[in-house]
Chain A
């Protein structure tokens, strides 16, 4: 690699930023054509600046999001309603209209009966619904489940964005998938981590063959070390979690029961249960974490436990 001077770098910067006067720019572009090392260095600098900027933007936006979330400043004013919520809303509207109509008829009858019983007897019979056949009212949300669901997702997301703690030294043969994980390429990470290292190039099953998620997991087939297996499952669980597949995440993370990852996996199981909107399943795990003084996620567990408790307040 050529050792470029400060003047070279200054000129490269000015070229990249479009600050070179025309004559100098043309001269510089001639150099780029004849000096491949200079051209490489300009390309590398461009890449460095773009990546540097992207990293800093990513960190800033995530930090702002987390800070605003913690302040409650991102709580929505209009709730996010999935499809079933839309249907429920229309059922509630229909029920309200029905209740008003039935109530109006009843009220009209009550007004008519004492004053003019003869008129009332001429009226067609009004079917007054029995109490157990009352028009459907919106069912009160189950505490801590439906109402809390978006907040649970927000909690899972907020804490899930943090880098995993206390994971020790990661086996080098997992560098590729972990790099994908770090870059948010969860699908690619999952594809690599689903099989023991060294078997990722195994031929795909023929069309129509039964899908076997445990392919390659047999002890005779696996060539990776036990330590690598634990890390692989751990990152597979994390990738599933980040990819919005909490059930699969739980399956993997429950199998991570060796130090140094067991405690961190326990925390991510909590997050997976929050993502599944099952705070009841997360609570025993939170209790366990809170009761381990040296648990790396004790503070977070306390915060989440408090948040869950606050959501269940009437």
Chain B
């Protein structure tokens, strides 16, 4: 039996086992899913003429997008099939983008990605948010990660961190206010 560190899929033999772990953003599950699909997609899309770098970009972007919507996914279709479709779309985006660069036609607008996150992202906020998160103390980072990234309920966070549910809400409010202060542009 291979060890988990060399075979991240050892604990996720079926989609039924994998999906809940992906929804909880278990790193081992993400690594398993990424690794097993990476090779398939490289093989499938590679021979159609894309460069390795294009396909790697497409797969990484697809993985981020796929994981962002993992809470709404179900098992009516195989997870690999669902992911392949996302990756293929991202690969087409990248290919189109290159074509647009090759044309050097600055007037051409790039086709907008149908990434559900695309409209939410704000470059300035992302830059500042990264810095602001780094300024949170480790325990606050853990709390924000559990609530916002891993989608734990406050009750689960309380159990995980050994505090009361009220304390979770209290600490989260403090974190949000702190981030709000750091991320609000100062009026000059």
Contacts and interface: CB of A to CB of B under 8 A. Distances in A.
B188 interface: no
Given A1-B184, A47-B122, A78-B43, A9 B148 contact: no
B60 interface: yes
Contacts of B39: 74, 76-77
B126 interface: yes
B92 to A, nearest CB: 16
Interface in A171-216: 179-180, 182-183, 185, 187, 191, 204
Contact of A183 (B46, B123, B173): B123
Nearest to A56: B149
**Interface size class, chain A:** 35 or more
B55 A55 contact: no
Interface SS majority for chain A? helix
A57 B179 contact: no
Interface in B35-72: 35, 38-39, 42-43, 46-47, 49-56, 60, 63-64, 67-68
Interface stretch (A80-88, A249-257, A283-291): A80-88
Interface residues of B, number: 55
A157 B63 CA distance: 17
B27 A51 contact: no
B133 A60 contact: no
Given A65-B60, A154-B52, A73 B35 contact: yes
A45 interface: yes
Given A47-B125, A57-B67, A182-B123, 16 more contacts: A44-B180, A48-B183, A49-B148, A50-B120, A56-B25, A57-B68, A57-B149, A61-B67, A68-B31, A78-B43, A154-B56, A182-B127, A183-B123, A185-B123, A187-B97, A243-B101
25 contacts: A6-B169, A6-B173, A9-B172, A9-B173, A46-B120, A47-B122, A48-B183, A49-B148, A50-B120, A54-B68, A57-B64, A58-B64, A60-B25, A74-B39, A76-B46, A78-B47, A81-B47, A82-B51, A157-B53, A157-B56, A180-B123, A182-B127, A185-B123, A191-B106, A275-B53
